[in-house]
Amino acid sequence: MDEIKRTSMAVLVDNQAGVLSQVTRLFSRKGYNIESLAVGTTDDPAISRITIEVLADEDHALLLSNQLRKLFPVHSVKLLSPQRSIRRELILLKVRAETGEKRTEVIQIANIFRASIIDVSTGSLTIALIGDENKTAAIQAILEQFELLELARTGIVAMERGLETITAETKERDEFNLGKNYR
């Protein structure tokens, strides 16, 4: 058994009712809890992009991607290696800050993280931050000294670095050749 690690998959699908449940069903049926899920349309409004992250070893990630490719509403699937891709999510944190002193402190922390204050009321501040899970975990840990009222995250969206795209099937052949040990 290979090492189990957090694996990102980007999936292009028809933007239709029921497609998301078809895709997620494949994961639940095999007992994978989806760690992160983000869905949105692409430059083509008929096509949505789903970014899914699960904890899986390399073999199982490959099997999952092969089975995803079999679904007719799925256009393409790409396993995104952490080294060669960028991964980001947006999180919103609502913090209780009822005094001027506390508000200043929260704003300073937000500035350090290059987060933005997107809402303010007499008792609270809401912060928006874009980053990967390390960065979002860090701000969350620091803000815990204040009362964290609510937290929402979009789920990770990911894309390969450089010129490679999900629609170029450049890596496919290599992926399928993984099981060939006859040489």
Partner 1 sequence: MELTGAQILIECLLEQGVDTVFGYPGGTILNVYDALYGYSDRIRHILTAHEQGASHAADGYARSTGKVGVCFATSGPGATNLTTGIATAYMDSSPVVFITCNVGENLIGKDSFQEVDITGISMPITKWNYLVRDVDELADAVRTGFAIARSGRPGPVLIDMLKNVTATKAAYEPLPKSEHAKHGMLRALRGRAAEEFKAPEPNEADIDALVDMIRASKKPMLLCGGGVVRSRAQEAFTRFAETVDAPVAITVMGGGGIVGRSPLATGMVGMHGTQASNMACDGCDLLIAVGCRFSDRVALKPDSFAAQAKIVQIDIDRSEINKNVRTDHHIIGDARAVLERLNRKLEQQDHQPWKDYVFSFKTETEYDDSPDKLTPKQIFQSIAKLLPPDTIVATDVGQHQMWAIQHFHFDYPGQLITSGGFGTMGFGLGAALGAKVGNPDKTVIHITGDGSFRMNCNELCTEEHYDIPVITYILDNRTLGMVRQWQNLIYEKRFYQTTLDRGPDFVKLAEAYGLRGRRVTNVEEFEAATREALEWGHGFVIDCAIDTDEMVRPMVSGGSHITQFLLD
Binders of partner 1 among residues 72 to 131 (CB under 8 A) are 72, 75-76
Mask: binding to partner 1, 51-80, rule CB under 8 A, as x and -? Answer: --------x--xx--xx-xx-x--xx----
Q: Point out which span in 18-26, 115-123, 133-141, 149-157 binds partner 1 (CB under 8 A).
A: 18-26
Q: Using alpha carbons only, how large is the chain's radius of gyration in Å?
A: 20
Binders of partner 1 among residues 122 to 181 (CB under 8 A) are 176, 179-181
With respect to partner 1, which residue has the nearer C-beta, 148 or 176?
A: 176
User: Cβ of residue 14: shortest distance to partner 1, in angstroms?
Assistant: 9
CA dihedral 54, 55, 58, 59 (to 10 degrees): -90
Provide the binding-site residues for partner 1, judged by CB under 8 A: 18, 21-22, 25, 29, 59, 62-63, 66-67, 69-70, 72, 75-76, 176, 179-182
